[in-house]
């Protein structure tokens, strides 16, 4: 005599001894399907609560990080007619790491809302940039003449 068992969705014939051992193992493990189902639902609810708590913690962390970041931003006021330098962080045309990434000076022509600044240059024309890419230019006229210093052997 044999009994049926579903394995991977297929019906299998088991000899009576094996079917009896399977029944005995299930009974010994106390496999009450209703209790197991309720326990699984409790586990899923606990998992949902864990996810919600993690989401809340992530939200609080992001809020605190944003507050700290906003507190440490240096606000710069740009006025029309002032000279500024433009950061060329997007352009990787500078061959050496000691080269300045600031170009200019540019003249502020208009201060737009939300941090946008319109600047002009004699050769490059007028364009709008993000105010965070600018810094005040405090320098005067510097000579752009290049010279070389030759170092001798130490005595």
How high is the pLDDT of residue 139? 78
Given a cut of 90, whether residue 78 has pLDDT beyond it is no
Q: What is the mean pLDDT of the chain?
A: 80
Nearest by Cα to 128 from 115, 144, 142: 115
Region of residue 8 (left: phi > 0; alpha: psi -120 to 50; beta: else): left
What residue ranges do the domains of the chain occupy? 2-71, 83-136
Q: Please give the pLDDT value at position 1.
A: 44
Contact 102, 87 (CB under 8 A): yes
Please indicate whether residue 15 or residue 45 has the higher confidence score (pLDDT): 45
Q: How confident is the model at residue 2 (pLDDT cuts 50, 70, 90)?
A: very low
State both tokens at 40.
Answer: 């699984």
CB contact at 8 A, 83 and 134 = no
Q: Is the pLDDT of residue 93 over 70?
A: no
**Is CATH 3.10.450 correct for 83-136?**
no
Token match 């962390």: residue? Answer: 61
pTM, entire model:
0.45
What's the pLDDT band for 146 if we cut at 50, 70, 90?
A: confident
Q: Is the pLDDT of residue 97 over 80?
A: no
Q: Which of 37-41, 140-144, 151-155 has the weakest average pLDDT?
A: 140-144
- The pLDDT tens digits for 44-66 are 999 999 999 999 999 999 999 99
């Amino acid at each position: 005599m044999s009994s049926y068992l579903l394995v991977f969705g297929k019906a299998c014939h088991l000899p009576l001894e094996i079917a009896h051992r399977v029944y005995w193992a299930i009974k010994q493990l106390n496999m009450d399907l209703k209790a197991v189902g309720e326990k699984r639902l409790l586990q899923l609810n606990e998992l949902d609560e864990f996810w919600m708590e993690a989401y809340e913690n992530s939200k609080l962390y992001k809020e605190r990080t944003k507050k700290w970041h906003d507190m440490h931003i240096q606000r710069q006021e740009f006025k029309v007619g002032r000279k500024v330098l433009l950061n060329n962080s997007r352009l990787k045309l500078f061959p050496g790491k000691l080269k300045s990434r600031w170009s200019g000076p540019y003249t502020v022509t208009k201060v737009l809302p939300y941090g946008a600044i319109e600047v002009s240059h004699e050769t490059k024309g007028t364009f709008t940039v993000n105010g965070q890419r600018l810094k005040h230019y405090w320098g005067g006229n510097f000579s752009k003449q290049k010279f070389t210093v030759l170092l001798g052997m130490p005595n």
